[in-house]
Chains A and B, each alone.
Chain A
Amino acid sequence: MISVTDLLEDDRIPSNYFATDAYVRGDVELGILENRQGDRLIALPETLIQGIYAGLENETGQAAWLVLFNCGRWWGKNFYTRFQEAISGYYNKPLSEMLMVEFLQALQQCWMTHGWGKIELDQSYQQQGFLIIRVWHSPFARFALKPDRPNCHLEAGILASFFSQLARRELHCVQTTCESMNADCNRFVLGLHRRLEPVEPLVTKLDHEAIMQRLCQ
């Protein structure tokens, strides 16, 4: 016999924590936006992203992408901590015990609710030690300064850091396609640094499939 009462946890069924209308809150009088944990949210104007890109390019030239990647890593580290706290508190179990589908849904909804686009994980290269991540409508691709190479360095940093902590191994992330280069979406390859490093210079020369073939040789 199935007991319906036993299916409820404290009379509830945890579901969509990051549902936009439940997640984004605010205090109009104080002039702040908050998430449902009480952490502050801010609306980031596109022109600020544009300004950061242009300022970094002016001040640091070639190093701009590395700065952005490292900023992304910093962001990703903190994002993982917050995500993990929010989700394990809400589901009442550690992230490691969550079903893969629950984790994925939460991450996807979280990405959408923050306005970072739609994210999808592709595990078809898992056996070879790589995880492919696809992102549509990224706010970080739109104002690319160099349309001849993938430009979502911030995002690559976030993903590298987030999944490193999830996998408890230091992972690197290389972007292989970019919306700023008229690709259908932004593709990121996650894997060990020493395995990804050789293909990094190839992202301007080869397409995603060719890079994956090279990686899996």
Chain B
Amino acid sequence: MHPQLESIFDEAENRYLHSEELTVLSQYVNSLPERLETYRKLRDNELDMMQKVADQLHAEMPTEEIAVLELSIKNALLLLRHCSMGMLVNDVGFVQNRLLNWIGQTARVYNTQTVDARLYRLLNQQLTQVFTPKQLSLLQPVLTTAQTALLNQHSP
């Protein structure tokens, strides 16, 4: 859960919540229907979107080893699934703790930076076609943070 919300619940024994804190909570609760809808849409369109990305990626990088392309796609699937959950619970840290160090290391060992960068561009294009601007605004903070962190991890 978002650290700001989590810290609110830690205050139960100390005091009642201030109006500003309740506002943060209400904002999250009000955003939940849209978050759930975005999550469902991601779940239902995952394979279709990622297959299009995979086809485009292969077409754009025909000389790249299939094993590297597949690894990059697998990592992107993991990333998308974790970002979907991170979006649902409004917590960028969720992706960091569960996944970034993990796939960052694989990506470094197999040197997939160039492929990853291109894949993210294609994936983000797919997302803009499937989701509304409002839905994208929920997903993008988590996704952009994760993608940027992973691409930067490659840099020496």
Q: Which residues of A contact B (CB under 8 A)?
A: 1-5, 7-8, 13, 15-16, 19-22, 101-102, 105, 109
Chain A proximity of B126: nearest CB distance (Å): 12
| Interface of A: prevailing SS | helix
Q: Which single residue of chain A is at the shortest CB-CB distance from B52?
A: A4
| A10 CA to B73 CA, complexed, in Å | 16
Tell whether, in the assembled complex, residue B58 and residue A21 are in contact, meaning their CB atoms are under 8 Å apart.
no
- Contacting residues, chain A, for B50 (C-beta < 8 A): 4
Total of A-B residue pairs, C-beta within 8 Å: 54
Cβ-defined contact, B66 with A21, below 8 A = no
Contact with A along B45-64 (1 / 0, CB 8 A): 00100110011011000000
Q: State how many angstroms separate the Cβ of A152 from the closest Cβ of chain B.
A: 25
Query: A3 vs B70: C-alpha distance in the bound complex, in angstroms?
Result: 9
- Report chain B residues within 8 Å CB of A5: 47, 51
Establish whether residues A101 and B99, one from each chain, have CB atoms under 8 Å apart when the complex forms. Answer: no
The residue of chain A having its C-beta at the shortest distance from the C-beta of B97 within the complex is A21
Give the distance in Å from the alpha carbon of A14 to the alpha carbon of B58 in the complex: 23
In the complex, the answer to whether A15 meets B58 with C-beta atoms within 8 Å is no
Closest to B102 in A: A16
Q: List B residues 92-111 near A (Cβ within 8 Å).
A: 97-99, 102-103, 105-106, 109-110
Q: Is there an interface contact between B66 and A2, defined as CB atoms closer than 8 Å?
A: yes
- Report the separation of the CA atoms of residues A20 and B105 in the bound assembly, to the nearest whole angstrom: 17
